[in-house]
Structure 1
């Protein structure tokens, strides 16, 4: 399932703010002071969207996931290589021979940021709250691998307590958590690092009521940092001295400023006012080969969603017309030009680097599952599709997207491609991120829309199961295909990893044949990063950044 954040067509800019610009070292105070003072371990980061709420049960957007990961922690935390290592857990799980029962001992002396003890029951409470239908957690499907999870998620009010009691999550004692799955899940340990699996303090959550997660005083974590201030223009994080590994957390303060415009980012970077700036367009070539460039290689696919609800664009119900739209876009030109040659043209839906679950990379197993740029074929498909629905020309429709600079340029590029290669007119429809997310996620009110999809675990299923007919949470395009459903559900039940991988390849091929969405590119984002910033991780999955190991040298 997804963490399913809809990733912004945008960026993060890090600012290293203190009294002096940049990150500097103070000179000796006098002749006898022959030791250089250490720099202040303070970091300011600018974010382009404010977290809507910091509730680990309901968070879906990247900003919320990123902040929750800084102030909280799960049983495991992904390291710089994307591998799970013990977090609040004392060690990796003890897994039964049949792969169903995970017994996980907690570390000794764990505390919440308020100094109160953290117990195994806090995980049990959190998982049951997430699956409770009243919580309306969009990521609750990520927990249905737990025995009884699906039943609890669908429980009627009169069934709720019985379904909670039957859920396969038990605190055996204050220091031992036992999780029982419906079936073996090879990547479940990785998933336990996600905020949706973080613990919650029952008394605190209940006391906050509807305010939980909405302001600094209504947020409580057990991670490297704690939320000291949140005025909805800025979040202030400070080191959590109650964190079990506090001695290895170097940053003392992190300020996250909510900004919209990143246009002056590189200018400020050049003036040593910021320490991290995303490079775009021509900036990428200008910085090529420099030592202060870091690339964030992500498990993220940019695509065009095509609404399959006939109320919005009935002519886009035709598969040949959708395939014509796809074949008329030169995604290599998009990736090389607009994206600066760092991102890679999509060869299917599942991005580079995702494992196939059988020891190989999925893209190497699947190969290219979508046709490439072919204007002549696109014209032919359009003509055939129009004939099938009794039209002589394609009606005008809207292509919606965020109103960020990169999103608007992407819309302009695609509209130009469609006009040049198909002779059709399409209207661009940029809008603020929050409005775009609401129209897509809640109202499903769009004709075609550009978005990004990021993995929450390293497996193709995170990109494929959102499009199941019965996935009410994330099938924003109302796609319905029994052959696709059968392949994904068969893979979900398949114990043989090689056969499972082949089923997932076939599912992607079927999706690309129907083309209810058009993959554009697999995203990578280059950043200019000051060379005195060490330990900053730019993860491939879910989070924008990881600060636990960051320090200023």
Structure 2
């Protein structure tokens, strides 16, 4: 356990030391050839290349270039066809979805793409024996039927409109028979030839990079313009800054907020950010374990956190503060619920006094050691200080993100402070975190029949005008129950070199290098 009660300036001096220690030789180690190679630097540690088990949003930049989906969210958060020729036809009862597929598509090994591959991929995902991490959010699919080679039909057990939005992040189409022919290690480590995407897997060098090469038979001719993509594993902020400044990477993910303004005005560099609709930054609490089994303590935590201070002082505008499950920019945001759960120190003290822990409570909160969307460490120190004002003694435990998320999935972390990314629609993270049986449901162990009933009504509705009051009810209920505490929504922010043309930060946050042209 690490208690992060230290001098922050000392940490920054340590970061400067890391930067100073980077020699020219270390910067040039294992560099690809220049010219038509696009190089990206991101934090985090890749765990798999398998699209149905990929849970690290940053590293989806690799899997989404290899594996495609019937439809996708574009960088502006709009649904559009990908392997499908058009958006699906949906039955009046909301239970049947018919897709016409794009003709003339092949996998990168030359095998033609047909409806059989779609059925095969979803059948694999849905088979409980395969233990796909993403299975729970697609579990309402009861049948996938091949109507003809370019026509596939999905049948659902109940109306569930959001599932279309989850394909980009949580699914990929692979060739029929490829799982049996190659085995799990192939998909985890080196899936060559089994995707339809614009890139083909080339190499995974542990702790350094994953490289892909352009798919010469890709159905969307002329995409991508680069010949090779290298995605570098650069966990430390100072290292990513050094690499973008020295030209060793072309695009940088997760620029440190304290450096972002300076970097984007540096000669030879550009930068931009945009709000996301799905980048939750939240305090997760196991509602079944003391002291978080006390609703008044949970309410006290929510009211004690000054989100504006965190957004402006720590993240310098790269976080939109919000005490509810929606950013202020979202059409489903409910201001009254935000005010009810937001910062009010006097209210926090009243909730604390009404709890079973009026005399104070010690808690331990787990945070990731390296940035994922944003660096949590600075914010954790601020939250620690703010909770101390109401008698909560918060100790901070630091873990590497990979082991941490697995521990959270198992339910081994009573409290955690971290960010996760959804496709940018209202229900994905609500379902994943706050309904039993979902992938990170044990982070809260919240189980409310009233909440589940409201969510089911939202699943069955597609009219935004009717959905808005439903989401207001949901946010009001969650403000009252406080099963977790929202802090805000991360921005998608990138810095890139001037030779990179036609690049835009992705509203869904994962870097999309498909349109990039190198000057």
Q: Same fold (TM over 0.5)?
A: yes
Local SS of the residue matching 1:426: strand
| 1:465 counterpart residue number | 431
User: Aligned pair 1:127/2:122, yes or no?
Assistant: yes
Flag the 1:181–1:423 CA change in 2: closer, same or farther, 3 A: closer
Deviation, structure 1 residue 429? 0.7
1:418 corresponds in structure 2 to 387
Q: 2:100 aligns with which of 101, 105, 115?
A: 105
Over alpha carbons, which structure has the higher Rg?
A: 1
- State the partner residue of 2:282: 303
Contact kept, 8 Å, 2:37 with 2:228, in 1: the verdict is yes
- The aligned counterpart of 2:17 is none
**Could you tell me the TM-score, scaled by structure 2's length?**
0.85
1:510-549 matches, within 5 Å, as: 510-541=477-508, 544-549=510-515
The question of whether the paired residues in 2 share the 8 Å contact of 1:352 and 1:522 is answered with: no
Q: 1:287 to 1:364 in 2, by over 3 A?
A: farther
Q: Would you say 1:371 and 2:341 are equivalent positions?
A: yes
**Alpha-carbon distance in 2 for matches of 1:45, 1:221:** 21
The question of whether the paired residues in 2 share the 8 Å contact of 1:58 and 1:130 is answered with no
* Deviation string, structure 1 residues 79-108 (Cα, Å, up to 9, x no partner): 333323332223333444555433322233
What is residue 163 of structure 1 aligned with on the other side? Answer: none
The reply to whether residue 241 of structure 1 matches residue 216 of structure 2 is yes
Shift of 1:504: 2.5
What CA distance in whole angstroms lies between the structure 2 residues aligned with 1:495 and 1:409? 40
Match of 2:272 among 280, 294, 300: 294
Q: Secondary structure, in 3 states, of the residue corresponding to 1:212? A: helix
- 1:16 matched to which residue of 2? none
Moved more, 493-502 or 59-68: 493-502
Residue 230 of structure 1 is aligned with which of 204, 215, 229? 204
Match of 2:113 among 114, 118, 138: 118
- Return the offset for 1:497: 5.0
Q: 1:58 deviation in Å?
A: 2.4
When residues 339 and 42 of structure 1 are mapped into structure 2, their CA distance, relative to the original with a 3 A threshold, is: same
Contact 2:244 2:251 in 1 (8 A): yes
- Matched with 1:251 is 226
Distance 2:459 2:368 in 1: 34
SS of the aligned residue for 2:441 comes to: coil
Task: Return the offset for 1:55.
Answer: 1.7
Unaligned residue ranges in structure 2 (runs of 5+)? 1-26, 29-33
TM-score (norm 1): 0.80
Give the Cα separation in 2 of the matches to 1:341 and 1:87: 34
Counting matched residue pairs gives 480
Equivalent residue, structure 2, for 1:7: none
> Does the residue aligned with 1:263 lie in a helix, a strand or coil?
helix
Residues 78 and 489 from structure 1, CA distance in 2 versus in 1: closer, same or farther, beyond 3 angstroms? closer
Contact 2:51 2:67 in 1 (8 A): no
Number of the residue aligned with 1:362: 332
Q: RMSD across aligned C-alpha pairs, in angstroms? A: 2.7
Partner SS state of residue 309, structure 1: coil
**Per-residue displacement from partner, 1:272-316 (whole Å, max 9, x unpaired)?**
333333432432343577782211432211001011222xxx122
Other structure's SS at 1:43 match: strand
Task: Name the residue aligned to 1:69.
Answer: 64
